[in-house]
Structures are given as structure tokens and as C-alpha cells.
Amino acid sequence: MVEFAIVAPVFFLLVLTMFEFTRLNVLRHTADNAAYEAARAAMVPGSDAASATAKANQLLNVVGARGATVTINPSNITTATDEVTVTVSVPLDQNGWVAPKFTRGDTFTTSSTVRTERVRTH
């Protein structure tokens, strides 16, 4: 019983740490994927920044990312737009279980830039 009392706190700390890092890793990969998929949604003709933002938020909602911000650059996509950049930021202190105590102010920020499929008309 004494061995359990010594080993159990360390064991449970390691298990909780594994869960926390797994959760943060899922959030990071989801933010990467959301930026890429939103950029792909914005690159096609007839698309706009609102549909790209909706696509990114849809993917972020799957994992329950709270407080995420999606920025589309340029915000007004026209036929003259050559590239679209989507930036996704996920604050860690709003999305961890244990980490908020240690990650105050830290944010995952990722972006994806793609060339558009629009044809310029002069």
C-alpha cells in the first residue's frame, strides 16, 4: 500500500499530462486543417470571405475549439485577387483542461496561403 501512495500521484500526473497534450495537439492540427480548408473554399470562383470563415468555424467546432478567430486576407475577394491567406488563432487558455493555469496568453496561430482559380478580366 505504501508503494501505491508513492507511485499513484506521479502516475496520475503523467496520465493527465498525456490527455492534456493530446487535446492541445488535436487543436493544433485542427487549426492547421481549418486554415487550409478555408483557403481552399475561398480560392474557387464565386466564393467569398464569409464562406471561407464559415468553413473554418465548422471544422473548429468539431473539436469544440473555443475563442478561435479566423481572418481572411484580403477580406474582399474579387476577380482580381491572386492569393488568399487564411489565418486561424486558437487561444490555449480557453481550450485546455489543465493547461490554462500554465498557458495564459498563449495562442496557436496558423495560416494557409493559396493562389485563386479566378480569371482576370480587363
Please give the pLDDT value at position 51.
93
Domain tally for the chain? 1
In eight-state DSSP terms, residue 78 is -
Q: Per-residue pLDDT tens for 18-75?
A: 988 898 899 999 999 999 999 999 998 888 899 999 999 999 999 999 999 999 999 8
- pLDDT at residue 99 above 70? no
Q: For the chain, what's the residue count? A: 122
**Is position 93 within any domain?**
yes
In eight-state DSSP terms, residue 94 is G
**Is position 122 within any domain?**
no
**Is position 105 within any domain?**
yes
Average pLDDT across the chain, whole number = 88
**Is position 120 within any domain?**
no
Find, among 80, 81, 108, the residue nearest to 93 by Cα: 108
Q: Which domain holds residue 95?
A: 2-115
**Euclidean distance between CA atoms 41 and 60, whole angstroms:** 15
**Is position 63 within any domain?**
yes
**Is position 39 within any domain?**
yes
pLDDT-based confidence at residue 93 (cuts at 50, 70, 90) = confident
**Is position 121 within any domain?**
no
Please give the pLDDT value at position 34.
97
